[in-house]
Amino acid sequence: MTEAPPVEADPPIEPGLVKESEFMGQSGQSVTGQARIEAAYGVGEGEGQGVAMVAQSPTAEGGTIFHQIYRPWRGTLNPRWVRNWSLLRHHVYGLFSKGHRPWPLMTKLIVVIVLIGSFIPIISMAMSWLTGVEELMELYGVNRANLWGHVLGTFHNTCCWPLLTAMIVGGLISEDRQNGTSAIYFSRPITRTDYTLMKFISAALILSLVIVLSYCAYYAAAIILNDEGWAYLLDTIPYFIGGLVAALMLVVTFTSIGLALSSLSTGRFFPAASFLGIIFGTRILAYLIKLLFEKDTLYLISPYDNLAHAGQWMMGLNTTYDFPAAWSFVALLLMNGISLYILISRVNSLEVTRE
């Protein structure tokens, strides 16, 4: 039998590469990553018996073979509300501070611009109070039409709220699918119901900070600047409540449609563009059908017009639609129901792996 060739000596180890580590509770053994195994199954005195030789390093200084042991964590989980609160805070606080969800700069600018645009009636009433020009107060003061128009009017419901919603809900779920964040969520003790609910509340809360907050501020500013008494408050509070309910309906409807579209995509652009296309496309289509056939029933497919019709009925305004307001309420229920069904189905399809 020929003798095995001599084992070459290992190259010298640079001092900077040697690191101290802790192995099985014992510190001081160097880890270089340059250890070499002499044999996994060799021949020798036990050749006839087929005995495996233990793998070993040719030199004692060659390195350390580690033995990993995975121990389960047996600590106490935080309550369910704490986990849900951390998920909600992660999305909402990102608009105001770092360390949370990084909202794009354009989204933050849109939120600020829309919020300033929502305060224009308040600024006009303040100018009227400072300058004594009563025409401004008559134009922007509190009445049924102005309370309805502040939420569902052409300017706000065409230029402000759809654009704001598209920027907010566009990437709430689609980015989780794209970046694999869903794997992080569902590998923790977070249920899909909590995930969906917190996403919905996060988007609705951000929209409410602009829509509902500006609406309440407008009503309060009108009372304070005009120095109105309890009689005025009692006369206008039913109109205010009707407009508030309409504002909440708008927030819920836009959030449902936006999140359903976001759950169908893996990017921000498609959900945002699709949402704007649904809001404006259905309204334009219904308007063209009305011009051609003098029938406005097709307005039932438009979320914009259904919300406007329902708001007119709740505020006691003369309706601009020929069909009953109950049809608009039913259409809104169907839109929200279909959107929530799509949202829940898509969230249930998310796996605990990167898609």
Range of the domain at 53: 1-70
**pLDDT winner (highest mean) among 155-159, 218-222, 306-310, 345-349:** 306-310
Residue 201 maps to a domain: yes
Asked if residue 326 has pLDDT above 90, the reply is yes
Which residues are CB-contacts of 148 (< 8 A; sequence separation ≥ 6)?
A: 243, 246, 311, 312, 315, 317
Q: Are residues 214 and 234 in the same domain?
A: yes
Q: Are residues 19 and 146 in the same domain?
A: no
Residue 317 maps to a domain: yes
pLDDT interval class at 255 (50, 70, 90) = very high
pLDDT at 17: 46
Asked if residue 41 has pLDDT above 70, the reply is no
262: number of Cβ within 10 Å: 30
% of the chain with per-residue pLDDT over 70: 78
Q: List the end-to-end C-alpha distance of the chain, in Å, as a whole number.
A: 57
Asked if residue 22 has pLDDT above 50, the reply is no
**pLDDT winner (highest mean) among 2-16, 168-182, 329-343:** 329-343
Between 323 and 12, where is the model more confident?
323
Q: Are residues 48 and 162 in the same domain?
A: no
Instruction: Report the C-alpha dihedral over residues 22, 27, 32, 34, rounded to 10 degrees.
Output: -90
Between 300 and 73, where is the model more confident?
300
What is the residue type of 120?
I
Residue 155 maps to a domain: yes
**pLDDT winner (highest mean) among 13-17, 139-143, 312-316:** 312-316
% of the chain with per-residue pLDDT over 90: 22
Convert the pLDDT of each residue in 48-80 to its tens digit.
454 444 445 445 455 556 666 767 767 777 788
Cα–Cα nearest to 94, from 105, 83, 80:
105
pLDDT at 197: 92
Residue 189 maps to a domain: yes
Instruction: Report the C-alpha dihedral over residues 297, 317, 115, 205, rounded to 10 degrees.
Output: -70
Which residues are CB-contacts of 299 (< 8 A; sequence separation ≥ 6)?
A: 283, 286, 290, 305, 306, 309, 321, 323
DSSP string, 155-213: HIIIIIHHHHHHHHHTTTTHHHHHHTHHHHHHTSS--HHHHHHHHHHHHHHHHHHHHHH
What's the CA gap between 250 and 279, in Å, rounded? 12
* Interior angle at CA 326, CA 259 and CA 212, nearest 5: 45
pLDDT at 352: 59
Which helix (H) or strand (E) is 23 found in, with range? Answer: strand 19-23
Instruction: Report the C-alpha dihedral over residues 212, 216, 222, 225, rounded to 10 degrees.
Output: -120
Asked if residue 116 has pLDDT above 60, the reply is yes
pLDDT at 228: 77
Question: Mean of the pLDDT values across residues 74-98?
Answer: 81
Q: pTM of the entire structure?
A: 0.74
Asked if residue 42 has pLDDT above 50, the reply is no
pLDDT at 290: 87
**How many domains are there within the chain?**
2
pLDDT at 257: 94
pLDDT at 252: 95
Asked if residue 176 has pLDDT above 90, the reply is no
Cβ atoms of residues 310 and 154 within 8 Å: no
Residue 350 maps to a domain: no
pLDDT at 39: 45
Q: Are residues 180 and 34 in the same domain?
A: no
* Segments of 75-166 assigned E as strands: none
pLDDT at 24: 47
Between 317 and 57, where is the model more confident?
317
pLDDT at 139: 77
Between 211 and 231, where is the model more confident?
211
**70, 90, 123 - which closes a domain:** 70
Residue 28 maps to a domain: yes
Asked if residue 7 has pLDDT above 70, the reply is no
Q: Are residues 24 and 84 in the same domain?
A: no
pLDDT at 185: 76
pLDDT interval class at 350 (50, 70, 90) = confident
Convert the pLDDT of each residue in 257-298 to its tens digit.
999 999 888 778 888 899 999 999 999 998 898 888 888 888
Q: CA quadruple 315, 212, 307, 108: dihedral positive or negative? A: positive
Residue 352 maps to a domain: no
Cβ atoms of residues 299 and 321 within 8 Å: yes
Q: CA quadruple 79, 84, 89, 94: dihedral positive or negative? A: positive
Provide the mean pLDDT of the chain. 79
Cα–Cα nearest to 174, from 38, 102, 271:
271
Q: Are residues 182 and 315 in the same domain?
A: yes
Cβ atoms of residues 223 and 232 within 8 Å: yes
